[in-house]
Each structure stands twice: as structure tokens, then as C-alpha cells.
């Protein structure tokens, strides 16, 4: 009989009087590497936090570490996103701070963070270099933590975890924000640490998994269920709803040209992030923006959304006006609906679901004024469309990550903007939620909305996309019509 490694008996967890886990039992054995999949909000992350000792619950959790194993006898839980702090130990950042120069010495560099982690965990710094190279992260050594994109932060989390090699490694959404090459290399690294004795629990619904994974499971109605693959867990009831009437109206365009960039350059000191960018987006076009992690995508979008101060030093036209000719950042944002992982990080978690969606009318990170009745009705319609009625008065921060993302997606489209900027919009969503959202994007774009969509997963893209721009090391590598290239 195989020796048990993690033994869970009679686990119960309630959150705000709602049962999340109910008399859950689960035993893992040595040599087993698990994937937990299934719908968003089913309790997967809560279960992982309980195993890692980060969340209390009623029941018994026993971990039988191997005392003869040279690997650290600990559980490391890698969260779905990275919570970093400044040099004073505070995490009080704001969204645009990443693009300003004032924070230059406010956070550690990647190298300093790794040195600090290595000292804390008694690790050799030379052992981390192969991991950095495999994930194409070596060039970020001098980057401040606040300068990193969501995908780059994910890489930093993964580098530290693979460097430590604990006896039990739990990773929540391991592939979030990673480009295709990085996902492939991550799987190779996960296979290697598994051979070294690390046991894995991955929380995800992604089909491209390391070959060392040999067990599949999920949580349904608070109970642990083992399955033969992730497919049975991805099927959920499809609540098909008609798109709200106010979103069926075509946007009113202020100009036929949404974006025009002429030889745009962005640098931080000696580091050039964007190089001679020339790009034009016309009203009604649907673009896919792609590139490896660190290629400059987030910086490019920050120029369009009015968040980057260096836009004034470049020839940049937004909605028919040259940047810096008198328009405010709020004038620009009136035309745009935006969602990005970084925006999610900095959003006001003290707002309710309803308030969060309503704030999209005013482009604020919280609702600070009372809505007219007509706008309140539109918020109610979107709450219903996204299946959030039962949660509308709950705090955004109290929802599972997937539902938080749905709330912010609803916020993004509430004003039926001329331009939708969707940067990895389906991070944290289950397969059914992703399908539902992309159907909505297709319908909105059929009514004439302009789209810039960032997505690393080819299988998670809306069908309406017509054109593609590919960045490589800050330069435009490809501009093409997708319909002709397929």
C-alpha cells in the first residue's frame, strides 16, 4: 500500500454563513501530483490555503513529511497573484504608479528580492540562474517590483517556488499571464522538481499540463471528487441571457481614428521599453495585441489609456486629438472601457459588487456619487446578465477571484465605450465563464465597438478579432490581417 502524504478528514468551511466545504475527505499518496479543476468559486483556493496553514477550518489535516528527504519539510502555496510591498513594508500602491518615475527607489529590484529570499530560505543564489533563464526572466534583474507586469510577477513567484523545492508545492493558476513559450518551459521545470521529490497540487483548468501530473480532481457542492481528466469538471450549466438593450446600440464615435502612434519611444533611464512604434487603430477595428512577457504590451496600452506620462513627449493621437493639446486623462477615459490584471490589483476592494460596476460610468476605482435612476437600471441589467444578483450587495473582496473578474468586466462595458481594452480579461474565469464572456465581446463588437484584446491562450479568444500586432523586445514585429493569414 502506498504511503499517505496529505490526509484530510471531515473538513468543513463556511464563509459568511455559506458552506464552502462540507465534510470533505481527501488523501494523497507519495508520488501523486494532482490538478484541482472545475468552476470558479467551488472552494479550490480555500482548500489549498487550509492545507498550507493559511486558513482555519473545522476538520483534520495531516501532512506526513519525509524526514529522510533533503527537501524542505514545508508546504509552499503560490497564490494566483503576487502581493509585494515597498521598502517600508507597505503595499499602498496606486494603478498609474508603475509608469511614473517617483517610485524609482520605492521597491526592491528583482535581484534584491531574490537575494533576500535566498538568505531567508538558506538557498544558493547560483542555483536560481537556470530557472531564470528557462523562464526568460534573467533580463529583469534590475527591474523594480512595481515595474513588472502581471505575467512578470507570476514568473517571480514561480522562480522562488522552483528554487526552494519544498516537499509540497501548491500553485494557484500557474499559467496566468504567461506566454506560450514560458508555459512550455514551466511544465519542463515542474517535471524536473517532481523527479527531485517535490509533490505538486496545481489549481487550474488548463489542458497543457506537465506530464508528471497523474491525478485529477475538483470540488462540487463542497465535496471532493476525483475524475479521470479535467473535462467533466469544466461542464457547467450555461445560463444564456440576452444582452442588455443599452449595449445593443452602436457607440457614438468622436473620430474615425481611435489611435495613431508615430515613432513612439518609451524609456526608463537607459532601458528602452518601446522603440519606434507606428500603429493605427481605426473605429470599429478588432485587434489582437500579442508578445512575450516583457515585450512592452502593458506600456503600449498605458499610452492609449492616458496613464503614461511619457505620452506627452511622443507623437500620439487618441480619438482624433494629439496627446497634450489640452485634454485631461478623464477626457480620454470617457471613451474607453479597460480591464487588466494590474487594474484588478489596485481596485477598491471595499466597494460592493453593485458599486464596483456602477463606478465604470465615472472611471473611478470606487463609487463616490449617486447614480441617476436610468443608470441604476443599467447596472441592475448587467448584474443580472453576469449572474451576480445574489452577490450584488457583497464586498468585491469577499468574492472568489473569478467572480471578482466578472464584476470588473461588467464595469468595463457599462458605458458602452467606443474602445474596449481587454488585457487578459479571462484570467481567473472557468471555461464556461470564459466562453460566455467572449460571446458577449463578439456581440458587442458586432454592434461596431472597437477592440484591443491581449490574450496568450489562442483557445480563449473571441471570434471577432480581425487584425494582429505582435511586439518583440519593444518593437513591432508583425502587423497582419488575421482573416487572410489563417
How do strand 215-220 and strand 34-37 relate by DSSP bridges? parallel
Residue 22 main-chain phi, psi, to 5 deg: -130, 110
Helix (H/G/I), strand (E/B), else coil: 363: coil
How many Å is the Cα radius of gyration of the chain? 23
CB 46 within 8 A of CB 53: no
Last residue of a domain, one of 234, 264, 284: 234
- Please report the pLDDT score of residue 82 as a whole number: 63
Give residue 121's Cα distance to chain centre: 28
Helix (H, G, I), strand (E, B) or coil at 133: helix
184, 206, 234 — which closes off a domain?
234
Residue 481 lies in a domain: yes
What integer pLDDT is reported at residue 225 of this predicted model? 94
In this prediction, residue 196 has a pLDDT band, given cuts at 50, 70 and 90, of: very high
Cell output for 54: 493559511
Residues 268 and 406 in one domain: yes
* pLDDT 10s digits, 299-324: 899 899 888 888 888 999 999 999 88
- Please name which of 431, 408, 445, 450 lies closest in space to residue 318, comparing C-alpha atoms: 450
Residues 172-184 have a mean pLDDT of 89
* Dihedral sign from CA coordinates of 242, 245, 248, 254: negative
Q: Which domain holds residue 197?
A: 4-82+89-234
Asked if residue 51 is part of any domain, the answer here is yes
Number of domain units in the chain = 2
Residue 396 lies in a domain: yes
Q: What is the pLDDT of residues 211-247, one digit of tens each?
A: 999 999 999 999 999 998 777 665 555 556 788 989 8
354 contacts 383 by C-beta, under 8 angstroms:
yes
Collapsing DSSP to helix, strand or coil, 239 comes out as coil
Domain boundary among 203, 234, 265: 234
**Domain co-membership, 340 together with 389:** yes
More confident of the two residues 401 and 315:
315
61 is a domain residue: yes
Burial of residue 362 (CB within 10 Å: 0-12, 13-18, 19+) is: middle
Query: Are 134 and 30 found together in one domain?
Result: yes
Are 226 and 354 in the same domain? no
Strands (E), 4-123: 4-15, 18-29, 34-37, 58-63, 75-78
Same domain? 355 vs 229: no
Same domain, 213 and 354: no
What CATH number corresponds to the domain at position 117?
A: 3.40.50.300
Is the same domain home to 229 and 257? no
- Contact indicator for 445, 247 with CB cutoff of 8 Å: no
Q: Same domain for 266 and 143?
A: no
Amino acid at each position: 500500500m502506498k504511503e499517505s502524504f496529505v490526509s484530510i478528514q471531515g473538513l468543513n468551511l463556511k464563509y459568511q454563513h455559506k458552506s464552502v466545504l462540507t465534510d470533505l475527505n481527501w488523501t494523497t499518496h507519495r508520488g501523486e501530483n494532482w490538478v484541482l479543476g472545475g468552476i470558479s468559486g467551488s472552494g479550490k483556493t480555500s482548500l489549498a490555503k487550509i492545507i498550507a496553514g493559511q486558513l482555519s477550518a473545522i476538520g483534520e489535516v495531516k501532512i506526513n513529511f519525509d524526514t529522510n528527504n533533503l527537501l524542505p519539510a514545508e508546504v509552499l502555496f503560490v497564490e494566483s497573484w503576487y502581493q509585494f510591498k515597498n521598502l517600508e513594508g507597505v503595499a499602498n500602491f496606486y494603478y498609474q504608479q508603475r509608469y511614473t518615475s517617483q517610485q524609482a527607489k520605492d521597491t526592491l529590484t528583482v535581484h534584491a528580492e531574490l537575494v533576500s529570499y535566498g538568505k531567508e530560505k538558506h538557498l544558493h543564489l547560483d542555483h536560481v540562474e537556470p530557472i531564470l533563464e528557462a523562464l526568460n526572466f534573467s533580463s529583469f534583474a534590475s527591474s523594480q517590483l512595481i515595474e513588472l507586469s502581471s505575467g512578470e510577477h507570476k514568473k517571480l513567484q514561480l522562480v522562488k517556488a522552483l528554487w526552494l523545492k519544498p516537499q509540497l508545492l501548491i500553485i494557484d493558476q500557474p499559467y496566468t499571464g504567461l506566454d506560450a513559450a514560458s508555459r512550455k518551459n514551466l511544465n519542463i521545470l515542474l517535471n524536473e522538481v517532481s523527479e527531485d521529490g517535490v509533490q505538486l497540487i496545481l489549481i487550474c483548468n488548463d489542458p497543457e499540463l506537465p506530464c508528471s501530473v497523474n491525478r485529477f480532481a475538483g470540488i462540487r457542492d463542497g465535496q471532493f471528487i476525483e475524475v479521470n481528466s479535467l473535462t467533466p469538471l469544466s461542464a457547467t450549466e450555461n445560463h444564456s441571457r440576452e444582452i442588455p438593450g443599452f449595449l445593443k446600440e452602436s457607440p457614438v464615435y468622436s473620430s474615425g481614428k481611435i489611435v495613431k502612434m508615430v515613432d513612439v519611444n518609451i524609456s526608463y533611464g537607459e532601458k528602452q521599453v518601446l522603440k519606434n512604434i507606428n500603429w493605427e487603430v481605426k473605429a470599429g477595428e478588432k485587434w489582437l495585441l500579442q508578445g512575450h512577457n516583457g515585450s512592452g504590451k502593458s506600456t503600449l496600452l498605458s499610452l492609449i489609456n492616458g496613464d503614461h506620462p511619457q505620452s506627452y513627449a511622443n507623437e500620439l493621437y487618441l480619438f482624433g486629438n494629439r496627446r497634450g493639446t489640452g485634454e485631461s486623462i478623464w477626457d480620454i477615459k470617457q471613451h474607453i472601457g479597460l480591464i487588466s490584471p494590474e487594474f484588478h490589483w489596485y481596485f477598491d476592494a471595499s466597494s460592493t459588487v453593485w458599486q464596483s460596476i456602477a463606478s465604470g460610468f465615472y472611471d473611478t476605482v470606487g463609487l463616490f456619487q449617486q447614480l441617476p435612476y436610468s443608470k441604476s437600471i443599467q447596472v441592475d441589467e448587467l448584474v443580472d446578465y453576469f449572474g451576480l444578483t445574489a452577490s450584488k450587495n457583497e464586498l468585491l473582496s469577499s468574492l472568489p477571484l473569478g467572480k471578482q473578474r466578472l464584476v470588473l468586466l461588467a464595469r468595463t462595458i457599462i458605458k458602452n465605450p467606443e474602445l474596449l481594452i481587454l488585457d487578459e480579461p479571462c484570467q481567473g474565469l472557468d471555461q464556461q465563464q470564459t466562453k460566455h464572456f467572449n460571446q458577449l465581446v463578439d456581440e458587442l463588437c458586432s454592434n461596431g465597438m472597437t477592440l484591443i484584446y491581449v490574450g496568450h491562450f489562442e483557445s480563449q479568444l473571441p471570434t471577432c478579432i480581425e487584425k494582429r500586432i505582435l511586439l518583440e523586445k519593444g518593437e513591432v514585429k508583425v502587423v497582419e490581417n488575421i482573416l487572410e493569414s489563417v
